[in-house]
Chain A
Amino acid sequence: MTWDVLWPLLWQATLETLWMVLPSALIAQILGTALGAVLTLTRPGGLRPQAVVYRGLDAVVNVGRSLPFIILLVLLIPLTRLITGTSIGSTAATVPLTMAAIPFVARLVDGALRDVPGGVVEAARAMGASTAQTVFKVLLPEARPALVHGFTVMLVSLIGYSAMAGAIGGGGLGDVAIRYGYQRFETGVMIATVLALLVLVQAVQWLGDRIATRTDHR
Protein backbone atom coordinates (compact mmCIF):
# COMPACT_ATOMS: atom_id res chain seq x y z
CA MET A 1 0.00 0.00 0.00
CA THR A 2 1.35 3.40 -0.89
CA TRP A 3 1.31 6.60 1.15
CA ASP A 4 -1.24 8.27 -1.09
CA VAL A 5 -3.69 5.48 -0.28
CA LEU A 6 -2.67 4.98 3.36
CA TRP A 7 -2.77 8.63 4.32
CA PRO A 8 -6.46 9.31 3.47
CA LEU A 9 -7.34 5.96 5.00
CA LEU A 10 -5.69 6.84 8.30
CA TRP A 11 -7.08 10.36 8.25
CA GLN A 12 -10.60 9.09 7.65
CA ALA A 13 -10.17 6.48 10.42
CA THR A 14 -8.85 9.07 12.87
CA LEU A 15 -11.87 11.28 12.21
CA GLU A 16 -14.16 8.30 12.77
CA THR A 17 -12.40 7.50 16.04
CA LEU A 18 -12.84 11.10 17.19
CA TRP A 19 -16.46 11.08 16.07
CA MET A 20 -17.06 8.01 18.24
CA VAL A 21 -15.02 9.15 21.21
CA LEU A 22 -15.61 12.88 21.65
CA PRO A 23 -19.43 12.96 21.85
CA SER A 24 -19.37 9.85 24.05
CA ALA A 25 -16.80 11.49 26.33
CA LEU A 26 -18.80 14.71 26.64
CA ILE A 27 -22.10 13.00 27.40
CA ALA A 28 -20.41 10.53 29.78
CA GLN A 29 -18.65 13.39 31.57
CA ILE A 30 -21.93 15.19 32.22
CA LEU A 31 -23.89 12.12 33.31
CA GLY A 32 -20.92 10.61 35.17
CA THR A 33 -20.31 13.86 37.05
CA ALA A 34 -23.93 13.92 38.16
CA LEU A 35 -23.72 10.30 39.28
CA GLY A 36 -20.37 10.88 41.03
CA ALA A 37 -21.75 13.93 42.84
CA VAL A 38 -24.77 11.93 44.01
CA LEU A 39 -22.41 9.22 45.32
CA THR A 40 -20.38 11.83 47.24
CA LEU A 41 -23.47 13.48 48.70
CA THR A 42 -25.32 10.32 49.69
CA ARG A 43 -22.44 8.31 51.14
CA PRO A 44 -22.38 7.89 54.92
CA GLY A 45 -20.94 11.10 56.34
CA GLY A 46 -21.75 13.01 53.14
CA LEU A 47 -23.82 16.17 52.98
CA ARG A 48 -27.06 14.24 52.32
CA PRO A 49 -26.50 10.68 53.60
CA GLN A 50 -28.92 8.22 51.99
CA ALA A 51 -27.68 4.71 52.71
CA VAL A 52 -30.09 2.93 50.34
CA VAL A 53 -29.51 5.28 47.39
CA TYR A 54 -25.77 5.17 47.95
CA ARG A 55 -25.50 1.40 48.17
CA GLY A 56 -27.69 0.95 45.08
CA LEU A 57 -25.76 3.40 42.91
CA ASP A 58 -22.44 2.15 44.23
CA ALA A 59 -23.37 -1.39 43.17
CA VAL A 60 -24.54 -0.20 39.73
CA VAL A 61 -21.25 1.64 39.21
CA ASN A 62 -19.24 -1.42 40.26
CA VAL A 63 -21.16 -3.68 37.88
CA GLY A 64 -20.71 -1.17 35.06
CA ARG A 65 -16.99 -0.95 35.75
CA SER A 66 -16.47 -4.70 35.85
CA LEU A 67 -18.34 -5.63 32.64
CA PRO A 68 -15.86 -6.24 29.84
CA PHE A 69 -16.45 -3.68 27.10
CA ILE A 70 -16.83 -6.28 24.39
CA ILE A 71 -19.71 -7.84 26.38
CA LEU A 72 -21.30 -4.45 27.01
CA LEU A 73 -21.10 -3.80 23.28
CA VAL A 74 -23.26 -6.83 22.57
CA LEU A 75 -25.56 -6.46 25.57
CA LEU A 76 -26.44 -2.91 24.59
CA ILE A 77 -27.38 -3.61 20.98
CA PRO A 78 -31.14 -3.20 21.66
CA LEU A 79 -30.56 0.13 23.44
CA THR A 80 -28.23 1.24 20.67
CA ARG A 81 -30.90 0.47 18.07
CA LEU A 82 -33.47 2.33 20.09
CA ILE A 83 -31.33 5.47 20.33
CA THR A 84 -29.52 5.59 16.97
CA GLY A 85 -31.76 3.40 14.83
CA THR A 86 -28.87 1.11 13.92
CA SER A 87 -26.39 -1.13 15.68
CA ILE A 88 -23.46 -0.73 13.29
CA GLY A 89 -21.24 2.21 12.40
CA SER A 90 -19.47 4.96 14.27
CA THR A 91 -22.62 6.71 15.47
CA ALA A 92 -24.00 3.47 16.91
CA ALA A 93 -20.71 2.86 18.72
CA THR A 94 -21.18 6.05 20.74
CA VAL A 95 -23.96 4.42 22.80
CA PRO A 96 -21.90 1.57 24.33
CA LEU A 97 -18.88 3.87 24.63
CA THR A 98 -20.93 6.39 26.60
CA MET A 99 -22.44 3.70 28.79
CA ALA A 100 -19.01 2.22 29.53
CA ALA A 101 -17.55 5.61 30.42
CA ILE A 102 -20.32 6.80 32.77
CA PRO A 103 -19.45 4.53 35.74
CA PHE A 104 -15.76 5.19 35.11
CA VAL A 105 -16.32 8.95 35.29
CA ALA A 106 -18.62 8.57 38.31
CA ARG A 107 -15.87 6.81 40.24
CA LEU A 108 -13.26 9.41 39.31
CA VAL A 109 -15.59 12.32 40.12
CA ASP A 110 -16.58 10.78 43.45
CA GLY A 111 -12.88 10.50 44.36
CA ALA A 112 -12.11 14.03 43.19
CA LEU A 113 -14.99 15.55 45.16
CA ARG A 114 -14.08 13.67 48.31
CA ASP A 115 -10.57 15.11 48.04
CA VAL A 116 -11.92 18.66 48.48
CA PRO A 117 -10.91 19.60 52.05
CA GLY A 118 -13.75 19.07 54.51
CA GLY A 119 -13.04 22.39 56.21
CA VAL A 120 -13.81 24.29 53.02
CA VAL A 121 -17.15 22.50 52.66
CA GLU A 122 -18.04 23.17 56.30
CA ALA A 123 -17.08 26.82 55.88
CA ALA A 124 -19.47 27.09 52.95
CA ARG A 125 -22.24 25.39 54.91
CA ALA A 126 -21.68 27.72 57.86
CA MET A 127 -21.99 30.65 55.42
CA GLY A 128 -25.43 29.33 54.59
CA ALA A 129 -24.70 27.50 51.33
CA SER A 130 -27.44 25.10 50.19
CA THR A 131 -26.50 21.62 49.03
CA ALA A 132 -26.77 22.67 45.38
CA GLN A 133 -24.62 25.76 46.04
CA THR A 134 -22.06 23.63 47.85
CA VAL A 135 -21.85 21.32 44.83
CA PHE A 136 -21.76 23.98 42.10
CA LYS A 137 -19.85 26.78 43.83
CA VAL A 138 -17.47 24.82 46.05
CA LEU A 139 -17.07 21.09 45.33
CA LEU A 140 -16.96 21.07 41.53
CA PRO A 141 -14.85 24.24 41.09
CA GLU A 142 -12.40 23.19 43.80
CA ALA A 143 -12.06 19.73 42.24
CA ARG A 144 -11.59 21.18 38.73
CA PRO A 145 -7.95 20.12 38.20
CA ALA A 146 -8.75 16.54 39.28
CA LEU A 147 -11.85 16.57 37.05
CA VAL A 148 -9.84 17.70 34.02
CA HIS A 149 -7.29 15.01 34.78
CA GLY A 150 -10.06 12.41 35.09
CA PHE A 151 -11.58 13.53 31.79
CA THR A 152 -8.21 13.01 30.11
CA VAL A 153 -7.82 9.51 31.55
CA MET A 154 -11.35 8.67 30.42
CA LEU A 155 -10.72 10.01 26.90
CA VAL A 156 -7.61 7.83 26.57
CA SER A 157 -9.54 4.77 27.77
CA LEU A 158 -12.31 5.51 25.29
CA ILE A 159 -9.83 5.71 22.42
CA GLY A 160 -8.76 2.21 23.46
CA TYR A 161 -12.37 0.99 23.72
CA SER A 162 -13.20 2.52 20.34
CA ALA A 163 -10.75 0.13 18.71
CA MET A 164 -12.95 -2.70 19.99
CA ALA A 165 -16.08 -0.98 18.71
CA GLY A 166 -14.33 -0.84 15.36
CA ALA A 167 -14.15 -4.61 15.37
CA ILE A 168 -17.94 -4.86 15.18
CA GLY A 169 -18.31 -2.33 12.42
CA GLY A 170 -17.83 0.93 14.26
CA GLY A 171 -15.08 2.10 11.96
CA GLY A 172 -12.10 4.09 13.16
CA LEU A 173 -8.46 3.29 13.69
CA GLY A 174 -9.06 -0.04 15.40
CA ASP A 175 -11.18 -1.17 12.47
CA VAL A 176 -8.40 -0.29 10.01
CA ALA A 177 -5.82 -2.12 12.11
CA ILE A 178 -7.90 -5.28 12.14
CA ARG A 179 -9.18 -5.22 8.55
CA TYR A 180 -5.91 -4.31 6.85
CA GLY A 181 -3.25 -5.26 9.36
CA TYR A 182 -4.67 -8.46 10.80
CA GLN A 183 -6.96 -9.92 8.16
CA ARG A 184 -4.85 -8.92 5.11
CA PHE A 185 -1.45 -9.31 6.73
CA GLU A 186 -0.46 -5.72 5.91
CA THR A 187 1.93 -5.22 8.77
CA GLY A 188 2.85 -1.74 7.53
CA VAL A 189 -0.75 -0.55 7.91
CA MET A 190 -0.96 -2.12 11.34
CA ILE A 191 2.14 -0.22 12.46
CA ALA A 192 0.92 3.03 10.93
CA THR A 193 -2.41 2.64 12.75
CA VAL A 194 -0.71 1.94 16.05
CA LEU A 195 1.44 5.03 15.52
CA ALA A 196 -1.64 7.11 14.74
CA LEU A 197 -3.28 5.88 17.96
CA LEU A 198 -0.09 6.65 19.87
CA VAL A 199 0.01 10.20 18.54
CA LEU A 200 -3.67 10.68 19.34
CA VAL A 201 -3.29 9.42 22.91
CA GLN A 202 -0.16 11.49 23.47
CA ALA A 203 -1.86 14.61 22.18
CA VAL A 204 -4.90 14.09 24.39
CA GLN A 205 -2.77 13.39 27.47
CA TRP A 206 -0.50 16.38 26.83
CA LEU A 207 -3.40 18.73 26.29
CA GLY A 208 -5.25 17.43 29.36
CA ASP A 209 -2.22 17.76 31.62
CA ARG A 210 -1.56 21.21 30.31
CA ILE A 211 -5.11 22.42 30.96
CA ALA A 212 -5.16 20.80 34.42
CA THR A 213 -1.89 22.49 35.39
CA ARG A 214 -2.78 25.85 33.86
CA THR A 215 -6.08 26.07 35.67
CA ASP A 216 -4.84 24.77 39.03
CA HIS A 217 -4.22 27.63 41.46
CA ARG A 218 -3.02 25.51 44.37
Chain B
Amino acid sequence: MSTAPPPPALEFSRVTKTYPGQPQAALQDLTLRIPRGSRTGIIGRSGAGKSTLVRLISGLETPDLGHIQVQGQPLTPATLKQLQARTGLVFQHFNLLAQRSVLHNVTLPLELRGTPKVLRERRARELLQLVGLEALAGRYPAQLSGGQKQRVGIARALVTDPDLLLADEATSALDPETSAGLLTLLTELQRERDLTLILVTHQLEVIRAATTHVAVLDQGRLVEAGETASVLRQPQSAVTRALLDAHRPEHPLLAGETLHHLTLPDLGAATLDRLARQRARIVRAEAHALGVDVWLTAPDHVPAAELGRTGLGGTGLSGIETPRLIPEVSA
Protein backbone atom coordinates (compact mmCIF):
# COMPACT_ATOMS: atom_id res chain seq x y z
CA MET B 1 0.00 0.00 0.00
CA SER B 2 2.85 2.36 0.68
CA THR B 3 3.92 4.59 -2.18
CA ALA B 4 6.35 7.48 -2.01
CA PRO B 5 4.32 10.57 -1.16
CA PRO B 6 4.25 13.09 -4.00
CA PRO B 7 6.35 16.19 -3.37
CA PRO B 8 4.53 19.13 -1.84
CA ALA B 9 3.03 21.61 -4.30
CA LEU B 10 5.29 24.25 -2.86
CA GLU B 11 8.12 24.11 -0.43
CA PHE B 12 10.04 26.94 1.20
CA SER B 13 13.25 25.84 2.88
CA ARG B 14 14.83 28.34 5.25
CA VAL B 15 14.03 31.25 2.95
CA THR B 16 15.21 34.70 3.95
CA LYS B 17 14.56 37.83 1.92
CA THR B 18 15.60 41.36 2.83
CA TYR B 19 14.88 44.28 0.53
CA PRO B 20 17.77 46.68 -0.09
CA GLY B 21 17.75 49.51 2.42
CA GLN B 22 15.38 47.74 4.81
CA PRO B 23 16.69 47.04 8.33
CA GLN B 24 14.39 44.05 8.87
CA ALA B 25 14.01 40.94 6.76
CA ALA B 26 10.69 40.76 4.90
CA LEU B 27 10.86 36.98 5.34
CA GLN B 28 13.09 35.38 7.97
CA ASP B 29 14.15 31.75 7.81
CA LEU B 30 10.80 30.61 6.46
CA THR B 31 10.22 26.89 6.13
CA LEU B 32 6.81 25.94 4.84
CA ARG B 33 5.33 23.04 2.88
CA ILE B 34 2.08 23.45 1.05
CA PRO B 35 0.48 20.04 0.50
CA ARG B 36 -0.47 19.08 -3.03
CA GLY B 37 -4.20 19.35 -3.60
CA SER B 38 -4.77 21.49 -0.53
CA ARG B 39 -6.46 24.83 -0.22
CA THR B 40 -3.93 26.60 1.92
CA GLY B 41 -4.52 29.98 3.44
CA ILE B 42 -1.62 32.26 4.27
CA ILE B 43 -2.72 34.85 6.74
CA GLY B 44 -1.01 37.70 8.52
CA ARG B 45 -1.32 41.38 9.18
CA SER B 46 0.19 43.88 6.78
CA GLY B 47 3.96 43.68 6.95
CA ALA B 48 3.84 40.00 7.87
CA GLY B 49 5.62 39.02 4.65
CA LYS B 50 2.65 37.86 2.59
CA SER B 51 3.43 40.02 -0.43
CA THR B 52 7.07 38.94 -0.38
CA LEU B 53 5.94 35.32 -0.32
CA VAL B 54 3.79 35.95 -3.41
CA ARG B 55 6.60 37.78 -5.20
CA LEU B 56 8.99 34.92 -4.50
CA ILE B 57 6.55 32.28 -5.75
CA SER B 58 5.78 34.25 -8.90
CA GLY B 59 9.46 34.80 -9.62
CA LEU B 60 9.39 38.60 -9.24
CA GLU B 61 11.99 38.31 -6.45
CA THR B 62 14.62 35.75 -5.58
CA PRO B 63 15.47 34.67 -2.03
CA ASP B 64 18.68 35.87 -0.39
CA LEU B 65 19.06 32.58 1.44
CA GLY B 66 17.33 29.22 1.30
CA HIS B 67 15.46 27.78 -1.64
CA ILE B 68 12.00 27.30 -3.05
CA GLN B 69 10.67 24.18 -4.75
CA VAL B 70 7.58 24.19 -6.91
CA GLN B 71 6.09 20.74 -7.61
CA GLY B 72 9.34 19.21 -6.40
CA GLN B 73 11.45 21.30 -8.80
CA PRO B 74 13.80 23.99 -7.53
CA LEU B 75 12.80 27.50 -8.57
CA THR B 76 15.84 28.89 -10.38
CA PRO B 77 16.32 31.29 -13.28
CA ALA B 78 16.59 28.22 -15.54
CA THR B 79 13.28 26.69 -14.43
CA LEU B 80 11.44 29.97 -13.85
CA LYS B 81 9.67 30.21 -17.22
CA GLN B 82 8.44 26.64 -17.04
CA LEU B 83 7.30 26.94 -13.43
CA GLN B 84 5.59 30.25 -14.12
CA ALA B 85 3.47 28.40 -16.66
CA ARG B 86 2.42 25.94 -13.96
CA THR B 87 1.43 28.68 -11.54
CA GLY B 88 -1.66 30.82 -12.09
CA LEU B 89 -1.89 34.16 -10.32
CA VAL B 90 -4.97 36.08 -9.22
CA PHE B 91 -4.46 39.62 -7.90
CA GLN B 92 -6.24 41.89 -5.45
CA HIS B 93 -6.71 44.67 -7.98
CA PHE B 94 -7.27 42.21 -10.86
CA ASN B 95 -4.48 43.74 -12.98
CA LEU B 96 -6.44 43.34 -16.18
CA LEU B 97 -5.28 45.21 -19.27
CA ALA B 98 -7.73 48.06 -19.79
CA GLN B 99 -7.16 48.25 -23.54
CA ARG B 100 -7.74 44.55 -24.17
CA SER B 101 -11.12 42.88 -24.38
CA VAL B 102 -12.10 40.27 -21.81
CA LEU B 103 -11.27 37.53 -24.32
CA HIS B 104 -7.86 38.97 -25.08
CA ASN B 105 -7.04 39.45 -21.42
CA VAL B 106 -7.59 35.73 -20.97
CA THR B 107 -5.53 34.83 -24.06
CA LEU B 108 -2.55 36.95 -22.94
CA PRO B 109 -0.61 34.24 -21.04
CA LEU B 110 -0.91 31.94 -24.07
CA GLU B 111 0.04 34.76 -26.43
CA LEU B 112 3.22 35.29 -24.39
CA ARG B 113 4.01 31.61 -24.94
CA GLY B 114 3.39 31.79 -28.66
CA THR B 115 0.24 29.65 -28.78
CA PRO B 116 -1.47 30.12 -32.18
CA LYS B 117 -4.36 32.58 -32.19
CA VAL B 118 -7.13 30.12 -32.98
CA LEU B 119 -6.05 27.72 -30.24
CA ARG B 120 -5.62 30.36 -27.58
CA GLU B 121 -8.98 31.97 -28.31
CA ARG B 122 -10.75 28.64 -28.21
CA ARG B 123 -9.07 27.85 -24.91
CA ALA B 124 -9.89 31.31 -23.48
CA ARG B 125 -13.56 30.87 -24.38
CA GLU B 126 -13.61 27.55 -22.54
CA LEU B 127 -12.22 29.22 -19.45
CA LEU B 128 -14.65 32.13 -19.69
CA GLN B 129 -17.45 29.60 -19.85
CA LEU B 130 -16.07 27.94 -16.74
CA VAL B 131 -16.26 31.21 -14.78
CA GLY B 132 -19.66 32.10 -16.27
CA LEU B 133 -18.57 35.03 -18.42
CA GLU B 134 -18.66 33.62 -21.97
CA ALA B 135 -21.29 36.21 -22.90
CA LEU B 136 -18.97 39.08 -21.96
CA ALA B 137 -15.96 37.99 -24.04
CA GLY B 138 -16.11 41.10 -26.24
CA ARG B 139 -16.44 43.62 -23.41
CA TYR B 140 -13.62 45.62 -21.85
CA PRO B 141 -12.63 45.47 -18.16
CA ALA B 142 -14.03 48.95 -17.46
CA GLN B 143 -17.48 47.64 -18.39
CA LEU B 144 -17.40 44.89 -15.74
CA SER B 145 -18.21 44.79 -12.03
CA GLY B 146 -15.46 44.00 -9.53
CA GLY B 147 -16.62 40.42 -9.17
CA GLN B 148 -16.73 39.94 -12.95
CA LYS B 149 -13.25 41.40 -13.31
CA GLN B 150 -11.95 38.91 -10.78
CA ARG B 151 -13.63 36.07 -12.67
CA VAL B 152 -11.73 37.22 -15.75
CA GLY B 153 -8.61 37.24 -13.57
CA ILE B 154 -9.31 33.65 -12.55
CA ALA B 155 -9.95 32.57 -16.15
CA ARG B 156 -6.66 34.20 -17.17
CA ALA B 157 -4.81 32.47 -14.32
CA LEU B 158 -6.17 29.07 -15.38
CA VAL B 159 -5.72 29.41 -19.15
CA THR B 160 -2.26 27.82 -19.08
CA ASP B 161 -3.72 24.88 -17.14
CA PRO B 162 -1.53 25.36 -14.04
CA ASP B 163 -1.17 22.97 -11.10
CA LEU B 164 -0.94 25.79 -8.60
CA LEU B 165 -3.33 28.70 -8.28
CA LEU B 166 -2.07 31.57 -6.16
CA ALA B 167 -4.69 34.13 -5.14
CA ASP B 168 -3.19 37.24 -3.54
CA GLU B 169 -5.90 39.02 -1.53
CA ALA B 170 -8.17 38.08 -4.42
CA THR B 171 -11.37 39.02 -2.63
CA SER B 172 -10.13 41.88 -0.44
CA ALA B 173 -11.30 44.63 -2.77
CA LEU B 174 -14.79 43.16 -3.10
CA ASP B 175 -17.96 43.29 -1.03
CA PRO B 176 -18.72 40.30 1.24
CA GLU B 177 -21.33 38.75 -1.00
CA THR B 178 -19.17 38.93 -4.14
CA SER B 179 -16.26 37.64 -2.07
CA ALA B 180 -18.25 34.64 -0.92
CA GLY B 181 -19.25 33.85 -4.52
CA LEU B 182 -15.64 34.00 -5.68
CA LEU B 183 -14.39 31.84 -2.81
CA THR B 184 -17.03 29.26 -3.73
CA LEU B 185 -15.88 29.39 -7.36
CA LEU B 186 -12.23 29.02 -6.37
CA THR B 187 -13.06 26.10 -4.08
CA GLU B 188 -15.03 24.35 -6.82
CA LEU B 189 -12.28 24.93 -9.37
CA GLN B 190 -9.68 23.60 -6.94
CA ARG B 191 -11.69 20.39 -6.48
CA GLU B 192 -12.65 19.88 -10.12
CA ARG B 193 -9.24 20.61 -11.60
CA ASP B 194 -7.22 19.01 -8.85
CA LEU B 195 -5.35 22.22 -8.16
CA THR B 196 -3.38 23.35 -5.20
CA LEU B 197 -4.93 26.64 -4.17
CA ILE B 198 -3.03 29.19 -2.12
CA LEU B 199 -5.12 31.99 -0.69
CA VAL B 200 -3.04 34.85 0.67
CA THR B 201 -5.18 37.08 2.82
CA HIS B 202 -5.45 39.26 5.88
CA GLN B 203 -9.07 38.22 6.37
CA LEU B 204 -9.87 35.37 8.71
CA GLU B 205 -13.26 35.00 6.98
CA VAL B 206 -11.44 33.81 3.85
CA ILE B 207 -9.49 31.22 5.84
CA ARG B 208 -12.69 29.99 7.47
CA ALA B 209 -14.70 29.87 4.29
CA ALA B 210 -12.34 28.26 1.85
CA THR B 211 -9.22 26.61 3.22
CA THR B 212 -8.15 23.17 4.38
CA HIS B 213 -4.77 24.31 5.68
CA VAL B 214 -3.47 27.56 7.06
CA ALA B 215 -0.11 29.19 7.74
CA VAL B 216 0.08 32.22 9.99
CA LEU B 217 2.85 34.74 9.29
CA ASP B 218 3.96 37.55 11.52
CA GLN B 219 6.87 39.96 11.01
CA GLY B 220 8.40 37.77 8.34
CA ARG B 221 8.24 34.58 10.36
CA LEU B 222 5.99 31.57 10.30
CA VAL B 223 4.25 31.42 13.66
CA GLU B 224 1.84 28.56 13.11
CA ALA B 225 0.76 26.15 10.38
CA GLY B 226 -1.56 23.18 10.15
CA GLU B 227 -5.04 22.09 9.20
CA THR B 228 -7.44 25.00 9.33
CA ALA B 229 -9.92 23.34 11.67
CA SER B 230 -7.35 22.51 14.31
CA VAL B 231 -5.46 25.80 14.07
CA LEU B 232 -8.65 27.78 14.50
CA ARG B 233 -9.97 25.56 17.27
CA GLN B 234 -6.75 25.38 19.21
CA PRO B 235 -4.49 28.23 18.19
CA GLN B 236 -0.98 27.70 19.53
CA SER B 237 0.42 31.18 19.08
CA ALA B 238 -0.53 34.55 20.49
CA VAL B 239 -0.62 36.00 16.98
CA THR B 240 -3.25 33.51 15.84
CA ARG B 241 -5.30 34.09 18.97
CA ALA B 242 -5.15 37.83 18.36
CA LEU B 243 -6.37 37.31 14.78
CA LEU B 244 -9.23 35.16 16.06
CA ASP B 245 -10.16 37.69 18.72
CA ALA B 246 -10.22 40.47 16.16
CA HIS B 247 -12.53 38.44 13.93
CA ARG B 248 -15.17 37.15 16.29
CA PRO B 249 -18.24 37.71 14.16
CA GLU B 250 -20.07 40.04 16.49
CA HIS B 251 -20.99 42.13 13.51
CA PRO B 252 -24.31 41.18 11.94
CA LEU B 253 -23.85 38.32 9.55
CA LEU B 254 -24.63 39.27 6.00
CA ALA B 255 -27.13 37.57 3.78
CA GLY B 256 -25.58 34.58 2.10
CA GLU B 257 -22.44 34.70 4.21
CA THR B 258 -21.00 31.35 5.12
CA LEU B 259 -18.73 30.91 8.08
CA HIS B 260 -16.69 27.79 8.41
CA HIS B 261 -14.70 26.27 11.20
CA LEU B 262 -16.46 28.06 13.98
CA THR B 263 -16.99 26.82 17.43
CA LEU B 264 -19.97 27.89 19.45
CA PRO B 265 -17.99 29.95 21.92
CA ASP B 266 -16.67 31.94 18.94
CA LEU B 267 -20.04 33.35 18.28
CA GLY B 268 -21.41 34.78 21.47
CA ALA B 269 -24.94 34.57 22.77
CA ALA B 270 -26.40 37.51 20.86
CA THR B 271 -25.22 36.25 17.49
CA LEU B 272 -26.49 32.76 18.20
CA ASP B 273 -29.85 34.16 19.14
CA ARG B 274 -30.08 36.03 15.90
CA LEU B 275 -28.87 33.08 13.85
CA ALA B 276 -31.58 30.98 15.39
CA ARG B 277 -34.19 33.59 14.52
CA GLN B 278 -32.87 33.78 10.99
CA ARG B 279 -33.23 30.04 10.48
CA ALA B 280 -29.51 29.74 9.98
CA ARG B 281 -28.45 26.36 8.74
CA ILE B 282 -25.81 24.66 10.75
CA VAL B 283 -23.43 22.08 9.40
CA ARG B 284 -22.06 19.44 11.67
CA ALA B 285 -18.34 19.20 11.71
CA GLU B 286 -18.21 15.45 11.96
CA ALA B 287 -20.46 14.90 9.00
CA HIS B 288 -18.57 17.50 7.00
CA ALA B 289 -15.31 15.70 7.60
CA LEU B 290 -16.81 12.59 6.06
CA GLY B 291 -17.71 14.58 3.00
CA VAL B 292 -21.42 14.42 3.73
CA ASP B 293 -23.06 17.72 4.44
CA VAL B 294 -25.77 17.32 7.01
CA TRP B 295 -27.80 20.44 7.27
CA LEU B 296 -29.79 21.01 10.40
CA THR B 297 -32.15 23.90 10.53
CA ALA B 298 -32.49 25.54 13.87
CA PRO B 299 -36.16 26.03 14.66
CA ASP B 300 -37.57 29.49 15.14
CA HIS B 301 -36.60 31.40 18.21
CA VAL B 302 -34.38 28.86 19.80
CA PRO B 303 -32.43 30.71 22.46
CA ALA B 304 -28.70 30.47 22.11
CA ALA B 305 -28.41 28.44 25.24
CA GLU B 306 -30.62 25.76 23.75
CA LEU B 307 -28.61 25.37 20.56
CA GLY B 308 -26.23 23.28 22.58
CA ARG B 309 -29.03 20.78 23.18
CA THR B 310 -29.47 20.16 19.49
CA GLY B 311 -26.28 18.18 19.75
CA LEU B 312 -24.14 20.75 18.02
CA GLY B 313 -22.80 22.65 20.98
CA GLY B 314 -19.32 22.65 22.33
CA THR B 315 -16.79 21.45 19.84
CA GLY B 316 -17.40 21.44 16.22
CA LEU B 317 -19.51 23.47 13.93
CA SER B 318 -17.87 23.50 10.57
CA GLY B 319 -20.21 26.03 9.11
CA ILE B 320 -23.14 28.30 9.64
CA GLU B 321 -24.90 29.58 6.59
CA THR B 322 -27.36 32.38 6.81
CA PRO B 323 -30.24 32.33 4.35
CA ARG B 324 -29.78 34.51 1.32
CA LEU B 325 -32.76 36.67 2.09
CA ILE B 326 -33.26 37.41 5.72
CA PRO B 327 -36.83 38.49 6.40
CA GLU B 328 -37.23 41.33 8.84
CA VAL B 329 -38.00 39.88 12.24
CA SER B 330 -41.15 41.57 13.44
CA ALA B 331 -41.39 42.19 17.13
Residue of A nearest to B159 (CB): A127
In-complex Cβ contact of B59 among A123, A124, A126, A133 (8 A)? A126
Which of B97-105, B124-132, B212-220, B263-271 forms part of the interface with chain A? B97-105
Q: Binary interface profile of A, 100-125, with partner B (CB < 8 Å = 1, else 0)?
A: 00000000000000000101101111
In contact, B98 and A218 (Cβ under 8 angstroms) = yes
Interface: A144 (CB within 8 A): yes
A125 to B55, CA, bound (A): 11
List 26 A-B residue pairs with CB atoms under 8 Å apart, sorted by A's residue number.
A123-B89, A123-B91, A123-B95, A124-B108, A125-B60, A126-B59, A126-B60, A126-B89, A127-B109, A127-B112, A128-B81, A129-B112, A137-B112, A141-B99, A142-B98, A142-B99, A144-B99, A145-B99, A216-B99, A217-B98, A217-B99, A217-B100, A217-B141, A218-B98, A218-B99, A218-B140
A215 to B111, CA, bound (A): 22
Flag if B58 contacts A138 (CB, 8 Å). no
The complex places the Cα of A124 from the Cα of B100 at a distance, in Å, of 13
Question: For B59, B81, B97, B142, which residue has the most chain A Cβ atoms within 10 angstroms?
Answer: B97
Binary flags per residue of B105-129, CB closer than 8 Å to A gives 1, else 0: 0001101110000000000000000
A126-B59, A126-B89 known; 5 other A-B pairs, CB under 8 Å? A119-B95, A128-B112, A142-B97, A144-B99, A216-B99
CB of B277 within 8 A of chain A? no
Q: Is the CB of B140 within 8 A of A217?
A: yes
Q: A residues 160-218 with Cβ under 8 Å of B?
A: 215-218
Q: Which of B85-100 contact A (CB under 8 A)?
A: 85, 89, 91, 93, 95-100
B95 close to A128 (CB less than 8 A): no
Number of interface residues of B (CB under 8 A): 25
A124 & B112 in contact (Cβ 8 Å cutoff): yes
Q: In the bound complex, do residue A127 and residue B93 qualify as a contact, i.e. CB atoms below 8 Å apart?
A: no
B148 proximal to A (CB < 8 A): no
Find chain A residues with CB under 8 A from B142 CB: 217-218
Interface size for A (C-beta < 8 A) is: 22
**Interface class of chain A by DSSP:** helix
Q: Assess A127 versus B97: contact at CB under 8 Å? Given A122-B60, A217-B142.
A: no
Q: Which residues of chain B are within 8 angstroms of A142 by Cβ–Cβ distance?
A: 97-99
Of all chain B residues, the one with the shortest Cβ separation from A143 is B99
Asked if B28 CB lies within 8 Å of chain A CBs, one says no
Chain A residues near B84: list those with CB within 8 A: 126-128
Chain A, residue nearest B141 (CB): A217
Question: How far does the alpha carbon of A172 sit from the alpha carbon of B278 in the complex, in Å?
Answer: 81
B111 contacts across to A, CB distance below 8 A: 137
**Selected contact of B93 from candidates A119, A128, A138, CB within 8 Å:** A119
**Which A residues are in CB contact (< 8 Å) with B113?**
128
For A127, the chain B residues whose CB sits under 8 A away are 84, 89, 108-109, 112
**Chain A residues in 8 Å Cβ range of B80:** 128
State whether A128 and B89 are in contact (beta carbons under 8 Å apart), knowing that A142-B99, A218-B98 are contacts in the complex: no
With A123-B91, A126-B60, A217-B140 given, is the CB distance from A138 to B85 under 8 Å? Answer: no
Give Cα distance in the complex from A138 to B109, angstroms.
12
Find B58's partner among A120, A126, A141, A217 (CB 8 Å cutoff): A126
Task: Tell which of B95, B98, B100 touches A122, judged by Cβ atoms closer than 8 Å.
Answer: B95
- Which A residue sits closest to B100, measured CB to CB? A141
A161 to B82, CA, bound (A): 52
Q: How far is the CA of A145 from the CA of B97 in the complex (A)?
A: 13
Say whether B95 contacts A117, CB under 8 Å.
yes
Tell which of A119, A128, A144 touches B85, judged by Cβ atoms closer than 8 Å.
A128
Chain B residue contacts of A137, Cβ below 8 A: 108, 111-112
Closest 4 CB pairs of A and B: A123-B95, A217-B140, A126-B58, A128-B84
Residues in A whose Cβ lies below 8 Å from that of B108? 124, 127, 137
Q: Mark B46-88, 1 if CB is under 8 A from A, else 0.
A: 0000000000001110000000000000000000110011000
